[in-house]
Chain A
């Protein structure tokens, strides 16, 4: 049972964090807002451009395509990782010495830096020397992710699944082990079998952690940059140029600060909006 104390002095301890967050997040965000309404031609010269950039982006086919790819990526990731993660969590032992072994194995991918993951998979998937690429080709399938859009997507998705399914597994597992034995015993006694136990006991009891898992996976995959960039650099062509990659290309590559700023803000708002929709949908279920 949590008890709250009203103690105003507690705020003193929070001030440094608040200041840091403000400095870290708010200041750059304001800079972005500032860029998004101006035009620059270098030399630190800025001209007022109003909402022009926003209009531009909203009408730009390039941005639409990048956003579409980003959404497709996220959808694929969620559809694969959530059920897979739950399935692995269900298959994991609940007791005994293997529990810690499994947990460590699951946690490993999460400990690898993102750019290393990208580089790893890049090498792994190379059709000539990479273990994965070579094996697939040896099986008689023509596979070259640097030239075939489908192969590039396949590799990109596989990499993300390898890297992040563990997160879903760990969260789902935490939800599973918190279910009291009495529920399983009652289900046995009621004559419920595998699927019914999952559907009526395990899934409802995992509801809360799965909400968090889906939300985290949504946000991360929707904003993913490092791994696909290191893997494919957005290619072949623009086939794997996600919104995040496109944004960097535009803002840093082409030094198009105004357009980049406007796109960043739109990107941010979409993420916020979709997260919020997800969250309310999932928590509404619970409170009913």
Chain B
């Protein structure tokens, strides 16, 4: 097991930053910490790095209890959201710095620096100073430094947050390839659900100092343990609404209803919360089990290749997301179709029931 938190708690004064958390990270792969700002992602990373001490509990890295071991002796590397490089060193020296500390021979050092530079497309910039580089290149330098070190544990704290949209996309695409086959366990903090999905591996969703769910990313996305996880892991935000179950019939406030089958049909009748991801509510028909929602369009949003509409049905506002550019008229009534087969249902405690 590469890295593990055992009943870790972090309190600062009267505030609890991390509630008791036990997570065994997946070995040799990506572990994404996903959650909004203030959820405790950075604290968890600092605990793993040894930059902060846990109030109680233990931290294990590579089968060793490192709870009381210094950062310097943990064999980890850390890349920050802000581009942190030595300003007075060239890119080459920056990348070489951890190797020099480790006392590697000159030839080995040179080979590894050049390899990492090649991988991160920094070869033409090796002699430049960080200040002469673009933000993307500066962050690539920091990543190269993390890679050459061949650390057991690589901690990336929102490394792409301060980059331009397209650069972010490009680096996000490269990251899994960079670390593939290196044997390092990567912990990657982000607040963007899409980033978590595309990086793959495992994900721990976090909210208010708690890990709400940990497991393979795609699984968590499709079957979130609870409502909090579903909310953290959805962009645009997941639609939620109270729904009344009578037999196999689900009814929303306002009378719209549908029939369910499978395990959800067997839970006791009563009131539940239904969660519907925006892309299962579309203006066009695509699939079986569609429920019609008619509402007044309030706001529309376009991303490069998606259209989002917020519309009001009764007192409730729903969000729809569809592929392609779809132009709505704000203020007009519009029909949307909800894929009832893809709904998630949560009980009164917020736990997933089907």
A3 touches B46 (CB 8 A): yes
Q: Does B70 contact A (CB under 8 A)?
A: yes
Cα A6 to Cα B53 in complex, Å, equals 8
Secondary structure of the B contact surface, majority rule:
loop
B70 touches A7 (CB 8 A): yes
Cα A245 to Cα B196 in complex, Å, equals 71
B50: chain A residues at CB < 8 Å are: 5
B70 touches A3 (CB 8 A): no
Cα A198 to Cα B82 in complex, Å, equals 32
Cα A4 to Cα B43 in complex, Å, equals 12
- Output the nearest chain A residue to B46 by Cβ-Cβ distance: A3
Cα A6 to Cα B55 in complex, Å, equals 12
A80 to chain B, nearest CB (A): 42
A3: chain B residues at CB < 8 Å are: 46, 51-52
B53: chain A residues at CB < 8 Å are: 6
Cα A1 to Cα B84 in complex, Å, equals 11
What 1/0 flags go to B55-95 for Cβ under 8 Å of A?
A: 00000000000000011000000000010000000000000
B46: chain A residues at CB < 8 Å are: 3
What 1/0 flags go to A1-44 for Cβ under 8 Å of B?
A: 10111110000000000000000000000000000000000000
B173 to chain A, nearest CB (A): 28
Chain A residues 153-208 with CB under 8 Å of chain B are: none
- Output the nearest chain A residue to B42 by Cβ-Cβ distance: A1
A-B contact count (CB 8 A): 11
What 1/0 flags go to B132-167 for Cβ under 8 Å of A?
A: 000000000000000000000000000000000000
Chain B residues 172-193 with CB under 8 Å of chain A are: none
What 1/0 flags go to B265-292 for Cβ under 8 Å of A?
A: 0000000000000000000000000000
Cα A124 to Cα B50 in complex, Å, equals 62
- Output the nearest chain A residue to B80 by Cβ-Cβ distance: A1
A116 to chain B, nearest CB (A): 39
A6: chain B residues at CB < 8 Å are: 53
B38 to chain A, nearest CB (A): 15
B70: chain A residues at CB < 8 Å are: 5, 7
Cα A6 to Cα B70 in complex, Å, equals 9
A107 to chain B, nearest CB (A): 26
What 1/0 flags go to A98-129 for Cβ under 8 Å of B?
A: 00000000000000000000000000000000
A7 to chain B, nearest CB (A): 7
- Output the nearest chain B residue to A3 by Cβ-Cβ distance: B51
A225 to chain B, nearest CB (A): 43
Cα A6 to Cα B82 in complex, Å, equals 24
Cα A3 to Cα B52 in complex, Å, equals 8
Cα A235 to Cα B51 in complex, Å, equals 60
Cα A3 to Cα B84 in complex, Å, equals 14
B80 to chain A, nearest CB (A): 8
Cα A204 to Cα B65 in complex, Å, equals 49
A5: chain B residues at CB < 8 Å are: 50-51, 70-71
Chain B residues 298-321 with CB under 8 Å of chain A are: none
Cα A6 to Cα B67 in complex, Å, equals 12
Cα A6 to Cα B68 in complex, Å, equals 10
- Output the nearest chain A residue to B70 by Cβ-Cβ distance: A7
Cα A4 to Cα B53 in complex, Å, equals 10
What 1/0 flags go to B316-337 for Cβ under 8 Å of A?
A: 0000000000000000000000
Cα A49 to Cα B51 in complex, Å, equals 55
B82: chain A residues at CB < 8 Å are: 1
A8 to chain B, nearest CB (A): 11
What 1/0 flags go to B24-67 for Cβ under 8 Å of A?
A: 00000000000000000000001000111100000000000000
Q: Which 4 A-B pairs have the closest CB atoms?
A: A3-B51, A6-B53, A5-B51, A5-B71
Chosen A-B contacts, 11 in total, with CB atoms closer than 8 Å, are: A1-B82, A3-B46, A3-B51, A3-B52, A4-B52, A5-B50, A5-B51, A5-B70, A5-B71, A6-B53, A7-B70
In the complex, given contacts A5-B50, A5-B70, A6-B53, what are 8 additional A-B residue pairs having Cβ atoms less than 8 angstroms apart? A1-B82, A3-B46, A3-B51, A3-B52, A4-B52, A5-B51, A5-B71, A7-B70
